[in-house]
Structure 1
Amino acid sequence: MTKRHVALPDDAEATLRGFVSAVDDRLAAAGGPAELADEVTETLVDLHGDREAYERWRDDDAVSPVEAARFANYDPRNATLESEYYAEKDEEAFARSKPLQWLWRQFDNTPLADNVEFALRFRRMLADHLFADVGEDVRLFKGISMTYGHNIEIGDNVVVHDDVHLDDRGKLTIGDRASVSDAVHVYTHDHDIVDQTDVDNYHTIIEDDARVTQGALVRAGVRVGENAVVGSRSVVQGDVPDHHVAVGMPAKSIKVKPGWESVAAPLESANENRQDERRLDHDLPEDLDAFDEFQRDRSPPDA
């Protein structure tokens, strides 16, 4: 094995446990989105060491415009996220996940986020509140972004490395002991090739013991099979069968893992696109005030 156990000094360990436990309790006790936003705000004020100045601002004492902007930004109600604009989002679920996602993102902007042992445990605690389901002994590194968070399910002993994007506009499932390497992008939504404002959502699956390596892209609705490997910088457009190794742009299965030949599908059966089977239906609100960011008509003349 290439890893070893690392422990913090006793005093630092006690401080870590106390802080993570206190935030966990406060988030758990929040009765609704408004209380949750309050707890996130207070946590971020303390994480950034701004308590004294923040209290002065809240008491209407004079502060500079840049300080006022910074203090207001701790409150997730004063922030917008890209996912907030998505018409089909579950408003009730998003109202709760937005403050938690804001805490996740802003925590990663603090010096504590570079303290690996501290940050792993903080994010794991936060994932319990944010994700649909998260297993034991999960390791979530710095710079992970997501669409909502509440449509993500992660199994036991999963590792998600730095700067990974987990799109859960649809639904994302990552199985036990899976590894998602640095700078991987995993998608659960896709745009129509003619009208890019037309979006479909899918269920994307990374199965138990699968490994998606550095910089790869997994398209919406793909299943990366059990114990499979996706090579670095690959673009996965179709399913990767169990125990297969897929590489390239677009990714193709090139071999079966040595020793797994008797239980793996043959190479000629690989690379099937089964996206349509994992399409998720959604209804838009009847009173939707639609926003077309492109303002163009690209209707094909031969349609």
Structure 2
Amino acid sequence: MTKVHVSLPEDAEEGLRAFIDEVDGRLDSDEDTCLVVRDTLIDLFGDREAWERWQSGKPVSPATKVRLQGYDPCNATLEAEYYAEKDEEQFKRSKHLQWLWRQFDATPMADNVDFALRFRQMLANHLFEDAGDNLRIFKGVTFSYGHNISIGDNTVIHDDVHLDDRGKLTIGDRVSISDGAHIYTHSHDVVDQTEVRNYHTEIRDDARVTFDAMVNAGTVVGENAIVGARSIVQGDVPDHHVVVGAPAKSVRIKPGFEDVAEPLDAGGEKRADEREIPYTLPDDLDAFDEFGRTLGGPVKPHRSE
């Protein structure tokens, strides 16, 4: 789509740039990340006066205290915190940055597109394994950890996309991921859903994953390919192919690429096993079954897949 350049008024641009540079500099320093995130959120939510009142020993309501404490990511838990196989050291910092990302999206400033895109690019530079230039990541994008994600240059990720990175997720250059898409790098055992396997999932250069589609763990969406709206990718998508449906199947080759693309009946191979990422759990792990079953005992599934 052809677009036009948009710029903010000069005074607004100056203030936004100064704010992003300040947060970026603090995250680059040896300063405690929890404190950086806490201070940034206090100011973004306009709660500095209440914070200082509380810190000076003056009374605040229980609700105010909970709100103020919640700006500090050390006082919060995230779903991924409960994942037994995570890298604890990596997650410690990723959690703080992810908290800032999620809470920023709850502020009015998250709808100021020019500012918000640049703020998320800055956070991605600190959070992701690799973040390319000119990323455009819109509102409501979530991920498991963040530190297992690599994204190339000039890629756009639209509203409410979920990027699961319990395994490893690689997204190439100039990729477009539309609203509501879900891309997975882990799966659950059919019999015992508490058993998780992690994989490497790839979305290669110039590919498009369109509205509300799902890409299953361990699959590859090939270069310049398109995944149609609400499709479910269960096997590899060849370069230049257009796939639709559940499960997704090739229905055409993009015009002009017929001579270099694989035949229309190619693709669909399920090669996740080749891309599994093994992990080990500590012997002294304090594990529990969230469904209240006895670990290690026989599990009867409610349904088969």
How far apart are 1:60 and its partner, in Å? 2.3
Partner of 1:200: 197
Cα distance, 1:105 vs. partner? Answer: 0.1
TM-score by length of 1: 0.96
Which aligned pairs between 1:89-128 and structure 2 lie closer than 5 A?
A: 89-128=86-125
2:65 to 54, 64, 68: 68
- The DSSP-based 3-state class of the residue aligned with 2:150 is strand
Structure 2 residue runs of 5 or longer lacking an equivalent are none
Structure 2 match to 1:47 = 44
Structure 1 residue 19 corresponds to structure 2 residue 19: yes
The Cα of 1:244 is off from its aligned counterpart by 0.3
Instruction: Please report how far the alpha carbon of residue 59 of structure 1 lies from its aligned counterpart in structure 2 after TM superposition.
Output: 2.4
Q: Distance in 2 between matches of 1:30 and 1:286?
A: 33
Moved segments of 4+, more than 4 Å: none
Of 165, 180, 185, 1:183 maps to 180
Q: Does residue 1:264 correspond to 2:265, yes or no? A: no
The secondary structure found in structure 2 opposite 1:201 is strand
Q: Which amino acid aligns with 2:27?
A: L
Note the C-alpha offset of 1:268: 1.9
SS in 2 for 1:246: strand
Q: Distance in 1 between matches of 2:230 and 2:187?
A: 19
User: How far apart are 1:2 and its partner, in Å?
Assistant: 2.4
Alignment of 1:152-163 (within 5 A): 152-163=149-160
Alignment identity in percent? 65
Superposed displacement of residue 267, structure 1? 1.7
The separation in 1 between residues aligned to 2:258 and 2:55, in whole angstroms, is: 65
Residue pair 1:238, 1:271 contacting (<8 A) in 2 also:
yes
Q: Aligned residues, how many?
A: 297
Give the corresponding residue for 2:171: 174
Alignment check: 8 A CA contact 1:30 1:39 kept: no
Q: 1:183-234: per-residue Cα shift (whole Å, max 9, x none)?
A: 0000000001111011000000000000000000000001000000000000
Q: Secondary structure at the match of 2:259?
A: helix
**Residue of structure 1 in register with 2:6 after alignment:** 6
Deviation at 1:299, TM superposition (A): 4.5
TM-score for the superposition, normalised by structure 2: 0.96
Give the 3-state SS of the residue equivalent to 1:122 in structure 2: helix
Rounded to whole Å, the distance in 2 between the matches of 1:74 and 1:225 is: 41
Q: CA deviation at 1:3?
A: 1.1
Q: One-letter code of the match for 2:113?
A: V
- Where does the alignment leave 5 or more consecutive residues of structure 1 unmatched? none
Alignment correspondent of 1:28: 28
Query: Separation in 1 of the partners of 2:154 and 2:65?
Result: 42
Q: Distance in 2 between matches of 1:171 and 1:4?
A: 35
Aligned equivalents of 1:132, 1:253: Cα separation in 2? 32
The separation in 2 between residues aligned to 1:207 and 1:118, in whole angstroms, is 28
Instruction: Say what the alpha-carbon RMSD is for the aligned residues.
Output: 1.0
